[in-house]
Amino acid sequence: MNYEINEGKLGCLIEIYAEFLEENSNYIIDRNNNLEYFKSILEKIKKKELTDDDLKEIFSKKRLYSVPPFFKPAMRNKLLTKVIEQVEFFNKENQRLDENKINEISRSLEDNKSYFALTTELLCAFYPDQYCIKNNKVEDMIKKLNELGVLLVKEKNFYEDYDKLVEFERVILKNMENNVKLKNVYQQIIGRTNMNFYDVDAFLYWIIDDNYKEKNNPKILNEKIEKN
């Protein structure tokens, strides 16, 4: 195993997150609204009803954190089309895109650059039950979990391997799904209890979010975890 997770401490951290959501409901409402948006966009894509305005909004910072500046309209359409076509094809075969295939898609544009982070964010937004996000925040998330004693890393930088990161986040997801308090909060705020990798990203981003750094510094969180 590349790491060890202290599920007791993780459970306490999830409880603290649930309390945070009770006081800051917009945090999860905004995330949920974004998921609903991408769900509606996927339907438009399948019906071939996607417009240029849709493409512009999809590839905006409002919708996707990893969008690079000056990302050309033709590149938006090509990357989005490639992502959807490949996932739908592999789903029919009951398979999931692995890191090599995702990397191939991310480098399929005419400038030959890698858009791996953006590609994984598209995958997670459109298929949140199958794919997680791997961007420049993942390392900070892992370090914070380590500081909190939730995670013991045995293989340095294991998270750089996308498939290993998916399996790691799957463990986090299972713990979130099994947390009664978090499920109750989800039900009260957004009317659902099922969770996915997009929800895991929201949870992990919360622990490093600069907007809450005064409350989320390791000393304060560790004190709360010990109390729980």
CA distances from 170 to 41, 191, 217 (A): 25, 22, 25
Locate tokens 């909004």: which residue? 57
Q: What is the pLDDT of residues 158-182, one digit of tens each?
A: 999 999 999 999 999 999 999 999 9
Q: What is the pLDDT of residues 97-154, one digit of tens each?
A: 999 999 999 999 988 899 999 999 999 999 999 999 999 999 999 999 999 999 998 8
CA distances from 121 to 3, 25, 99, 115 (A): 24, 23, 14, 10
**What does the block give as tokens for 228?**
């729980």
Q: What is the pLDDT of residues 195-218, one digit of tens each?
A: 999 999 999 999 999 888 777 777
The residue-averaged pLDDT of 185-192 equals 98
Are the C-beta atoms of residues 192 and 176 closer than 8 Å to each other?
A: no
Closest CA to 34 of 8, 60, 12: 60
For the chain, the average pLDDT equals 93
- pLDDT in the model for residue 225: 78
- pLDDT in the model for residue 36: 97
Q: What is the pLDDT of residues 28-53, one digit of tens each?
A: 999 999 999 999 999 999 999 999 99
- pLDDT in the model for residue 223: 78
- pLDDT in the model for residue 228: 67
DSSP state of 59: T
Q: What is the pLDDT of residues 73-108, one digit of tens each?
A: 889 999 999 999 999 999 999 999 999 999 999 999
Whether pLDDT at 1 is above 80: no
